[in-house]
Amino acid sequence: MKLSKVILKGTLLSIFGVLSVKMDTRICSKHSGTSINLLKKMGNINNANLDYILRWEGGLSKHPNDSASSDCVPDGSGVHTNKGVTFRSFKAQFGDSPEAIKRFYEMSKEDWMQIYRLYWEGIKADDIESDLIAEFWADFAWGSGVYGAAKQLQKFIVSEGFNIAVDGKVGKQTLSALNRLIIMKGEDYIYLKSYDHRVNFLRGLSSFKHFGRGWISRLKDFHNYALSKLNG
């Protein structure tokens, strides 16, 4: 009987221990002291505020000071971007045939989404344990390219005390460090620090003198949206 009771007690403790661990992984302490359920807030492209991007991108662009102007549509128009999608990125997916060029000018919602998904997946946003922070860094990638945004993400993580490679490749090490930061310091803290990091990065670009005002206005628009998500 004593042996049976010991076994039963051990089994119950084991079960409660597993349940406790599961609960601990579901709920962590935010920087503000409130709770956040991270398992329900993984990055999800279906929650991204795409209207915000399209609102700021507008339509066709052929600004000569844009870096995308080095690869224009080969029809003499000087156009290099449509709805934020550069012709370079578009032709990498769809080619540069006359049919593809026509498709670029029309830029259907489906084609635009296929391009946006490349940036989302490039930054591994699905694996970030915060829907908002995933969207923020995907938007960073949209504006600066996956490689550039990945390097800045890694530099940000290093500035928060983690020793990881800054190689422009988002892998297990980068994601593990970022997700640990979110758990340790909270979604709101990491978002606000990420926002500050991006502002400082933009201000350091040589083209800031041409586009800086628009970049900051656009980023403030995202910031207001982000604060509304953080506040509930």
Sequential pLDDT tens for the chain (232 residues)? 444 444 444 444 444 443 333 333 333 444 444 334 444 489 999 999 988 888 888 889 988 888 888 999 999 999 999 999 999 999 999 999 999 999 999 999 999 999 999 999 999 999 999 999 999 999 999 999 999 999 999 999 999 999 999 999 999 999 999 999 999 999 999 999 999 999 999 999 998 998 899 999 999 999 999 999 998 7
Q: Quick one: pLDDT at residue 182? A: 97
Q: Quick one: pLDDT at residue 8? A: 44
Q: At what angle do helices 131-144 and 208-230 cross, to 10 degrees?
A: 170
Q: Quick one: pLDDT at residue 64? A: 86
Q: Quick one: pLDDT at residue 141? A: 96
CA dist., res. 19 & res. 11, Å (int)? 12
**Sheet with 60-61, edge to edge strand ranges:** 60-61, 81-82, 85-86
Number of separate helices (H) and strands (E) present in the chain: 10, 5
CA dist., res. 138 & res. 149, Å (int)? 8
Helix or strand run (H / E) with residue 37? strand 35-37
**Alpha-carbon dihedral 209, 212, 213, 216, rounded to 10 degrees:** -160
CA dist., res. 80 & res. 181, Å (int)? 38
Q: Quick one: pLDDT at residue 30? A: 40
Structure token pair of residue 13: 């403790």
Q: Quick one: pLDDT at residue 63? A: 85
Q: Quick one: pLDDT at residue 15? A: 42
Cα 231 to the center of its chain, rounded Å: 19
Q: From residue 18, give the alpha-carbon distance in Å to each of 6, 7, 21, 128, 231.
A: 18, 17, 5, 24, 32
Structure token pair of residue 159: 């500035």
Q: Quick one: pLDDT at residue 232? A: 75
> Do 196 and 188 meet the contact criterion of CB atoms below 8 Å apart?
no
Q: From residue 101, give the alpha-carbon distance in Å to each of 58, 74, 90.
A: 18, 8, 9
